[in-house]
Amino acid sequence: MAITIKTAEEQQKMRAAGAAAGQVLSMIAEHVRPGVSTEELDRLCHRYIVETLGCVPAPLNYGGGGGRIPFPKSICTSVNHVVCHGIPGPKVLKRGDSINIDVTVIKDGWHGDTSQMFHVGEATVLSRRLVDTTREAMIEGIRLVRPGVHLGDIGNAIQRYAESRGFSVVREYCGHGIGRIFHEDPQVLHYGKPGTGIELKTGMTFTIEPMINAGKADVKLLPDGWTVVTKDHSLSAQWEHTVLVTDTGYEVLTLRAGETL
């Protein structure tokens, strides 16, 4: 699949989709508390995406084939040692949990994709360190985005930042190009060597979404075909933004109200 360069008009569509995705995370924040189920978080997000924003939840019925069922919910909820693609269900959040909520909406045919970590009640010292480091690593990568930079530069910056703080970077899952299609080229690795990989050009849009583990980097896929967990059951964290390459640098399309990088 070729990398798509978005026109000025298409960039406007991406801004609108990204803003909508960010609004969902802002809305759900107050509902992330002890005693709520991940299924209830999904229900609230689905209703807000469809009824309030007039958008489509991109994960719902996405994928499938090869023996794997299409994704059955509207958001991903990844709790504690779940790395990504956690399926909302009856699990009830308890004090001390950490959860990643991953939201992708389709607005007027264009995708906005973002995720955020939440602490449920009082966070442990390790959880707070991991969550903060993962966000900071994402920001390290985002701040490098500009024409002429290589994807390997971004991956290397994320990897060095996370590993310097004693954490490990998941290799099997990565960021991706995005636009009219949910997952398009290029793949955006969160590790790598400077000067390698695709060279960035104005008009490219992609996600940067590092998955960082407190223990080893190894992960495994559960029998449901979607949920990815750490092999050693250590905590994992992820943050994600959709980014546009501009003439002079970058624009984060999924910033939430009041959020700064």
What per-residue confidence (pLDDT) applies to 66?
Answer: 80
pTM of full prediction above 0.95: yes
- Cα 134 from Cα 82, distance rounded (Å): 15
pLDDT band at 158 (very low <50, low <70, confident <90, very high): very high
Please enumerate in sequence order all residues whose Cβ is within 8 A of that of 27, keeping only pairs 6 or more positions apart, or say none.
Answer: 44, 45, 48, 52
pLDDT per position as a tens digit, 199-213 = 999 999 999 999 999
Taking the CA atoms of 98, 34, 260 and 256 in sequence, report the sign of the dihedral they define. Answer: positive
One-character DSSP codes across 176-204: EE-SSSSSEEEEE-SS--TT-SPBP-TT-
% of the chain beyond a pLDDT of 90: 97
Helices (H), the chain: 8-28, 38-47, 125-142, 151-164
Reference 85, options 151, 142, 18, 38; nearest CA is: 38
- Provide the mean pLDDT of the chain: 97
With a cut of 90, say whether residue 64 has pLDDT above it: no
Reference 22, options 114, 98, 106, 84; nearest CA is: 114
With a cut of 80, say whether residue 249 has pLDDT above it: yes
Of the candidate CATH numbers 3.40.50.720, 3.40.630.40, 3.40.50.970, 3.90.230.10, the domain formed by 8-252 belongs to 3.90.230.10
What per-residue confidence (pLDDT) applies to 39?
Answer: 98
What per-residue confidence (pLDDT) applies to 110?
Answer: 98
With a cut of 80, say whether residue 165 has pLDDT above it: yes
Element (H, E) at 115: strand 110-119
Domain boundaries, the chain: 8-252
Q: Which residues of 60-79 are buried (b: 16+ CB within 10 A; e: fewer)?
A: beeeeeeeeeebbbbbbbbb
Q: Which of 43-52, 64-73, 175-184 has the lowest mean pLDDT?
A: 64-73
Helices (H), 29-78: 38-47
What per-residue confidence (pLDDT) applies to 141?
Answer: 98
Torsion of CA 142, 241, 200, 196, to 10 degrees: 70
Edge-first strand listing for the sheet containing 205-208: 184-188, 175-177, 205-208, 241-245, 250-252
- Cα 216 from Cα 173, distance rounded (Å): 15
Helix or strand or coil: residue 141?
helix
What per-residue confidence (pLDDT) applies to 217?
Answer: 98
pLDDT per position as a tens digit, 67-118 = 889 999 999 999 999 999 999 999 999 999 999 999 999 999 999 999 999 9
